[in-house]
């Protein structure tokens, strides 16, 4: 019967469509979203490692950058920037550090997640070196000064004078247990 055949064909096509949408949700949407974040600065996520290019330092402009530290839940480490804020010229590489100390009696691994306010200019904030590129293991009681080198793009939109860069550290010991064994 022709209707039955075409019913079956339609069933297969639509089921295929449903499977495609399922794959779309799991395999396409998350990377698409990350790409979107990178382009638009959505969520204030500053990008990955930046290869320094020769740019003119724009001495006519001053931008103040404030540093903030946060601990996520279950993260008892001491964690703070060593400087409250710096005033820089766009194009000029600047180095600052964050201090972290593992206050527990367990060896732990942390991951710092950056977020820049205003979110929209995250794309103009370049990091040539950052402790957030890799996770940070610390043995019980150990401490460290972690380095961040950044350059503010001279193309930073006019009128933006105050940036605030925050790092939130998360405890990722469970998912990075190989690093904990290295500590021992």
Partner 1 sequence: MLKRAKALFLSLLSLVVSLPAMGAAVAESSTRQLNMPQGVTEVSQAAYDIHMVMVWVCTVIGVGVFGFMFYVMYAHRKSRGAVAENFHENLVVELLWTIVPAIILIVMAVPATTALLKVYDTDNPDLEIKITGYQWKWQYEYLGEGVKFMSELNTSLDEVYGREPKGEHYLREVTEPLVLPVGKKVRFLVTGNDVIHSWWVPDFGVKRDAIPGLFTAGWAKTDEPGIYVGECTELCGLGHAFMPVVVEVKEEAEYNEWLAGKKAEAAEYAATIGKQWTDEELMVRGEEVYERSCAACHQSNGEGIPGVFPALKDSPIALGPMEGHIAILIDGVAGSSMQSFADQLSEVDIAAVVHYERNAWGNDVGDVTQPIDVLNYKQSK
Partner 2 sequence: MAHGPATLADGWKAYISRWVFTTNHKDIGTLYLWFSFAMFILGGAFAMIIRAELFQPGMQLIKPEFFNQMTTMHGLVMVFGAIMPAFVGLANWMIPLMIGAPDMALPRMNNLSFWILPFAFAILTSTLFMEGGGPNFGWTFYAPLSTTYAPDSVNYFIFAIHIMGASSIMGSINIIATVMNMRAPGMTYMKMPLFVWTWVITAFLLVAVMPVLAGAVTMMLMDINFGTSFFNAAGGGDPVLFQHVFWFFGHPEVYIIILPAFGVVSQIIPTFSRKPLFGYSSMVYATAAIAFLSFIVWAHHMFTVGMPIAGELYFMYATMLIAVPTGVKVFNWITTMYKGALTFETPMLFSIAFVILFTFGGFTGLMLSIAAADMQYHDTYFVVAHFHYVMVAGAVFSGTAAIYYWLPKWCGKMYNETMGQVQFWIAFIGFNIAFMPQHFLGLAGMPRRYADYGLQFADWNMVSSVGAFIYGGAQIMLLFNVIMTIRKGKPVSEEKVWEGAEGLEWTVATPAPYHTFEKPPEVK
By rule CB under 8 A, what string of x and - marks binding of each residue 45-84 to partner 2? x--------------------------x------------
Pair of tokens at residue 92: 């000029």
Residues 76-95 within binding reach of partner 1 (CB under 8 A): 76, 84-85
Sheet holding 125-130, edge to edge: 78-81, 94-101, 143-152, 125-130
Pair of tokens at residue 16: 């295929």
Residue 116's binding partner among partner 1, partner 2, none (Cβ under 5 to 8 angstroms by kind) is: partner 1
Q: Judged by CB under 8 A, does residue 158 bind partner 1?
A: no
Residue 96's binding partner among partner 1, partner 2, none (Cβ under 5 to 8 angstroms by kind) is: none
The pair phi, psi for residue 8, each rounded to 5°, is: -65, -45
DSSP 8-state assignment for residue 49: B
What is the H or E stretch that residue 67 is in?
strand 63-71
Binding site for partner 1 (CB under 8 A): 43-44, 66, 68, 70-76, 84-85, 102-105, 113, 115-119, 140-141, 159-162, 164, 166, 168, 170-171, 174
């Amino acid at each position: 019967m022709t209707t039955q055949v075409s019913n079956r064909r339609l069933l297969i096509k639509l089921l295929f469509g449903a499977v495609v949408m399922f794959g779309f949700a799991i395999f396409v949407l998350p990377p698409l979203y990350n790409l979107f974040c990178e382009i638009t600065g959505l969520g204030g996520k500053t990008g990955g490692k930046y290869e320094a290019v020769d740019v003119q330092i724009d001495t006519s402009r001053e931008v103040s950058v404030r540093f903030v530290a946060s601990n996520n839940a279950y993260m008892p480490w001491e964690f703070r920037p060593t400087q409250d804020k710096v005033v820089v010229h766009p194009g000029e590489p600047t180095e600052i550090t964050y201090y972290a100390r593992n206050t527990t009696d367990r060896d732990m691994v942390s991951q710092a997640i950056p977020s820049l306010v205003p979110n929209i200019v995250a794309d103009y904030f370049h990091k040539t070196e950052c402790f957030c590129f890799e996770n940070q293991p610390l043995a019980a009681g150990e401490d460290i000064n972690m380095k961040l080198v950044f350059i503010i793009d001279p193309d930073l939109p006019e009128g933006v004078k105050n940036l605030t860069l925050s790092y939130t550290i998360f405890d990722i010991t469970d998912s990075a247990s190989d690093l904990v064994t290295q500590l021992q």
